[in-house]
Each structure stands twice: as structure tokens, then as C-alpha cells.
Amino acid sequence: MGMYFTQEHEVIRKSVREFIAREITPYMDEWEEAGEFPALIFKKLGDLGILGLRCPEKYGGIDADLFSALVIAEEMAQCGGAGLPMSIAVQSDMVIPTILKFGSEEQIERFLLPAIKGEIITALAITEPDAGSDVAGIKTFAVKDGDEWVINGSKMFITNGPRADVVIVVVKTEKAKGYLGVTLFLVEKGMPGFTVSKKLDKLGMRSSDTGELSFIDCRVPHSNVLGRVGEGFYHIMWELQGERVAAAAGAVAVAQYCLDMGIKYAKERVQFERPISKFQVIRHRFAELSAQLEAVRQFVYHMVYRIDNGEYPVKEISMCKLLSSRLAFEIADFVLQVHGGYGYMTEYPISRLWRDIRLYRIGAGTDEIMLEIISKQLNL
């Protein structure tokens, strides 16, 4: 189990592993082709207790630590694709913690509890057609009208967006105040003026549906403001740290899955009358990547340990996100190369993983943004 994991973690690991083998892996090809997974999967995950694992018992969770979420990420990587795990993480690691931390009791009752049970699907909408990394530069705007807010604007690349029942939408409410003029809203499916303008066709993560959302005079009651008006930027910066932890853990887990796949293939593939794993250029590269991956994994574990013990290590979170994302793609690219022409064929799992893993260097903060954050933390 190691120094970070307990028997309770291993119980969670076993339960999730069995669920994935039974309910997910056999259907991944079908869901990749369809561009989405059945909503029933969320209900089954809710019944398993996975979605709200870290929530208090009174809300249906078990007050689990962050290592429990890391265990789930490690096991989810075994399903053969990163799309569905990403959709799940949006709900379990991004939306649920944000509502739990900033939501009112009424919002917890209306939105958090059904999200934990998997009765609804949720999304988080930050990115816009003209604003991604620059959160303060968003243009979606809301004005107060009595007991309601009227939202106009659009959001782009929203995971779970096409069928989300509830979306946390990041909106400007005071243009002149920059970072201080951002507010979070809980926008519900069916609210007048809120539509899915387009379901997007992606290079990878295809089992996860992604959409462009449109808000045209969308009226949202003031009771759906999440947290404090004007403090949404700070709320979302808090959320992004958790999102980056989930991304780093997921990248390391999928990278390990790729590495294991590549080593297995190299042992089986025979060229020049011997397995290609016997060629020094191949086995040394595997050894090098394995060593690098173990170093990054231990960095992620140490960072999670610090968070579980009350620290907020923004610099280290950004470092882990940067290193894990880059290394995961480096590993996927090498494993595809080891497969040769077969790796370029869609029937081979590495082609899917290569496409999926590329997103880790973009989502939850690009490599470039991570470098900027690290630079600032170094007082440069």
C-alpha cells in the first residue's frame, strides 16, 4: 500500500476497479463511436458513492481524503480512454467541491445532493470563444433586474455541456472592476435564453460530450448566485487548483497505462528474429520514461499529502500539472512510435490514448499558464 495509502483506500480501489471492468471497459469503443456515454453511468457511480466521496456524511459522502480521489483517478485510467474519466472528474472534482464550499444550504439541497447521487449531470463553464486562459477577460455579462440576473454571452469547449442539467457559469457582473467583477451562477437546463448552440467534434476525449453554450437574455434568479457577487474570480481560482490536481493525477495514471501497454507490445513484437524490447534503443527509452514517471508520481503524491494536511501549494500544483501533462504526452508519443504503423490505426488503443492525452497540456490551464504561475511564485 505504501506510505500514502491505507486499507480504506484499497477497499475503494477494489470497488472502483471491479465497477470499471463490469460497467465501462466493455463499452468504451461503442461510446467513443457515439461521442457520448449513457447518463445512467452517473447514476451507477452515484450508487457506488464515487461522485461525492469527499463530501460530509450528512450529504451522502464519507469525508474521504484527497488520496481517495487519486485512487479513483488511477483506476479510471484502466478503462481504455480518458474521455469518460474527464466527464466524471468535472462533476466529482470540480463542480461538487465548488458547490459544497460556496453554496448555500438551499443550493446544496437543490444541486449538490442530486449531483452526488448521479441523478443530474453538471458542467463548469469558464472558457469563451475569445477568452480561455484569461479568466478576467471573459465577455459573458449579467445585469441585475429585480430579483433576477439577465445573462448574455457564450461559452466554448464545455465538458458535459450538451446535456448538463446544471452549469456553473463564470460571468462578468461589473465590467470596470476586472477580477473583482466576476460572479458564479448556477444555470439550469430549460431556463429561458439558455441553449446548447453546438455539440463539438473533438480530436480526442470523444466519449465525453463537449459543447458551445449560448445565453441570450437568460434570466437566472438571484438565489442561483453561487458564492458572493463580485468574488467569483477568487472562487474559480480556488476551484482550478483542485481541477489541476485531478488533471495531474489523471495524466500520471493514463501515462502509466500507456507505458504498460507499450512494454507489453515491445515484448510481443518480433523483428529481426527477436522481440523489439531487446533492442537497447527501445528498452533504455522505456527505462528512462519509467524513471521520470515515477519521479512525477511521487511529486503528485507529496503534493496531495500537503493539501490533505491543510496547505495550499499553488506553485507545486502548477509544477505537477505541467510536468505530468508533458510527460504523459511524451510517453504516449513514444508508445505509438513503438507500435509503428499499427499505432497509427484506430483499432489500436494507443491511437485513442495519444489523442486523448494531448488535451492534458491544454485543459485546466495550458503549459504556458502553468509556467507563468510558477514564474510569479518564484518572484520573477
Active-site residue set:
243
* Alpha carbons 112 and 122: distance in angstroms, whole number: 10
Burial label for 211, CB within 10 Å (0-12, 13-18, 19+), is: buried
Half-sphere exposure of 28 (CA within 13 A, CB side): 21
Beta strands per DSSP E along the chain: 122-125, 141-145, 148-159, 166-172, 182-188, 194-199, 210-221, 225-226, 270-271, 274-275
- Other CB atoms within 10 A of residue 2 CB: 8
Closest to 87 in 3D by CA, of 211, 3, 181, 179: 211
Residue 259 is placed in which grid cell? 507505458
Report the alpha-carbon distance of residue 215 to residue 171 in Å, rounded.
Answer: 11
d(CA 79, CA 205): 13
